[in-house]
Amino acid sequence: MATNSSTAAFYVVGLLLLIHSGYSSFEFHKLSIVSHYHGSLPIDIVLETVIAIIIIVIGAITSVSNTPVLSLKGEQINSRSKFLKFIEMKDAVTVIESIGLSDYEELNTRVGFINIIKKRREYSEWLGQST
Amino acid sequence: MITPDLLLDPQLKYWVLLPISFVMVFIGLLRSNITFLLQAPPKLEGFKAVREKQFLRRAASFKTNNQVLTEEEFEVRKQYFIEKLNSTDFYAKIEDSNQDPMSQLTDPGMNDALMNMAKGNVMNFIPQTVIMAWVNYFFAGFVVMKLPFPLTDGFKSMLQNGIATPDLNVRYVSSISWYFVNLFGLRPVYSLLMGGSEADALMSQQQQQSPLPNIGGPGGPKVDKLFKAEAENIQILSHESVFEGIAERVLESYGV
Amino acid sequence: MARDIIYYNPSIDANKQKLQHVQDIASLALGVGAGVLTLESAYGFIFYFVGLTVANFLFYSICCENQPKKFFVKPLQDVYLAGIFTNIAGYIMMWCLVYALVKSSS
């Protein structure tokens, strides 16, 4: 999963709130036993907990956003969708094609089928050109 | 509630609940690493076995993708596949039908498959039994925690194992029940710790071939059955080109 | 002439994993929350179902960008129903743990 700074910020804030509300709740239960108080949890602890959970869930949602891919030409390419990936074939392949690769790349560039003699000739011609 | 609250030493939480959780998480991590190390590298198959599988896969992809062919090409390929699937040309080995079933058990390939299965099972069971024995031995005989939800009395014998108080509320449970709660509940923790769902997505991209039935493997279907079934499927295929009615579809999809 | 939509399976899996990741974190956080609030019995389970549905709703409305059909084969079922019972075990674990830690009887 992509961890970016906003995700980390959401997680840190959410966890701090959750720990704080947990500690408050812990203290409240201790005190209520000592002072024989029989009431429900104060509303601010409840609110703090609910807000903390919502912040953590939002952090989790931001963490699943798509990361840009690096194309063969060194450009960063962003997907058209921000979070999820398209499941229809016609949409899904556009990103992969924009990199300059395909899913069947290993079939197109099989090492066993490379014509080494031709490659060598090309290379030596190139060497002769450049000097 | 009729029964007053049982007084539980707060130290129990720090010295029983948390240690059990930590041990289970770490043993889970260790186990996943050890299974990775124990995995035997995949063995090379004989070329005939590979050819047999590949041919079946080719027939299957012909079945799904035949709409890109023209009528003529389709007919030629259909004839070819039906003929080859019904002959024995692509079988890895031709078996006589009245072969002794016991002789299969001495097949070396079969032994390997069984060995791998046994290894996987051992790696699953041993750590769990060890932890369970450890929990039972170390933390036996006292109430550890109060569950936040009531259970029926049927759970009493399992969850209050080793506590000699017959009338205790089932919500007070011993350490073994915390072990069980952990056993079922740790999956999200593992998936967060080991993560790599993005990596998994990448992995699944590389191996997106559909899983084939392991032909000739232990318990797998027989080759001739699979080939015959595939031949019948291809026999009933009717051809419909992808270009049929393409003008209407393009006009429709662009809303003209 | 209606043709079947051809799906790209790696994308389907990737989307399901992302949803699963969100649900993992949501169920753990909800478990901690339920423990902090010291909810008991039925209230705890109601809290879980409501909370996870809210989390799923956030996911559905933020991530699907108003076109859920583009990302899930059966959007409503996949997002709202599929994970609700498989994730309850993690919730119960955190609930029990934090409940035991927070609630002191002495």
**Going residue by residue through chain B (256 aa), what tens digit of pLDDT does each one get?**
444 567 788 888 888 889 999 998 888 888 878 877 877 777 777 888 888 888 888 998 898 888 888 888 999 999 999 998 888 888 877 765 555 555 555 566 667 777 777 777 777 778 888 888 998 888 887 888 888 888 888 888 778 877 777 778 888 888 888 888 888 888 888 888 877 544 444 444 444 444 444 555 545 567 778 888 888 888 888 888 888 888 888 888 887 7
**Predicted ipTM beyond 0.85:** yes
> Beta B172-174 vs B143-146: how paired, if at all?
antiparallel
Do C11 and A50 count as a contact with CB atoms less than 8 A apart? no
Which of C102, C103, C105, C106 to mutate to probe the A interface, most A CBs <10 Å? C102
Distance of CA A18 to the CA centre of its chain: 23
Number of domains in chain A: 2
> What are the angstrom distances between the C-alpha of B52 and each of B88, B109, B159, B212, B224?
10, 16, 53, 11, 11
In chain A, what residues touch C26 (CB-CB under 8 Å)? 53, 56-57, 60
Crossing angle between the packed helical segments B187-194 and B175-185, to the nearest 10 degrees: 50
Residues 82-121 on A with a CB inside 8 Å of C are: 82-93
Q: How many residues does chain A have?
A: 131
Judged by phi (left if over 0) then psi (alpha if -120 to 50, else beta), residue C41 lies in left
Domain that holds residue A75: 69-130
CA of A73 to nearest chain C CA: how many angstroms apart?
A: 24
Domain that holds residue B27: 11-207+222-253
Do C105 and B248 count as a contact with CB atoms less than 8 A apart? no
Specify the DSSP element, H or E, that contains C32.
Answer: helix C9-36
Q: Identify any residues that bridge with B145 across adjacent strands, giving them in sequence order.
A: B173
Nearest to C10 among B6, B186, B204 (CB): B204
Q: Are residues A58 and A73 in the same domain?
A: no
Kindly state whether A105 is in contact with chain B, defined as any CB-CB distance less than 8 angstroms.
no
Last residue of a domain, which of A20, A37, A63?
A63
Kindly state whether A51 is in contact with chain C, defined as any CB-CB distance less than 8 angstroms.
no
Last residue of a domain, which of A28, A63, A98?
A63
Do C64 and A29 count as a contact with CB atoms less than 8 A apart? no
In chain A, what residues touch B208 (CB-CB under 8 Å)? 103
Residue A50 DSSP SS3:
helix
Q: Are residues A56 and A85 in the same domain?
A: no
Q: Are residues A81 and A116 in the same domain?
A: yes
User: Using alpha carbons only, what angle is made at residue B256 by residues B70 and C3, rounded to the nearest 5 degrees?
Assistant: 40
Asked, for residue B44, whether it belongs to a domain, the answer is: yes
> What are the angstrom distances between the C-alpha of B255 and each of B242, B245, B250, B252, C68?
20, 16, 8, 5, 22
Number of domains in chain B: 1
Asked, for residue B75, whether it belongs to a domain, the answer is: yes
Q: Are residues A76 and A58 in the same domain?
A: no
Distance of CA C46 to the CA centre of its chain: 14
Q: Identify any residues that bridge with B146 across adjacent strands, giving them in sequence order.
A: B172
Whole-angstrom distance, CA of residue B162 vs CA of residue B141 = 5
Residue B256 DSSP SS3:
coil
Whole-angstrom distance, CA of residue C7 vs CA of residue C72 = 10
Q: Identify any residues that bridge with A70 across adjacent strands, giving them in sequence order.
A: A76
Whole-angstrom distance, CA of residue B248 vs CA of residue C3 = 13
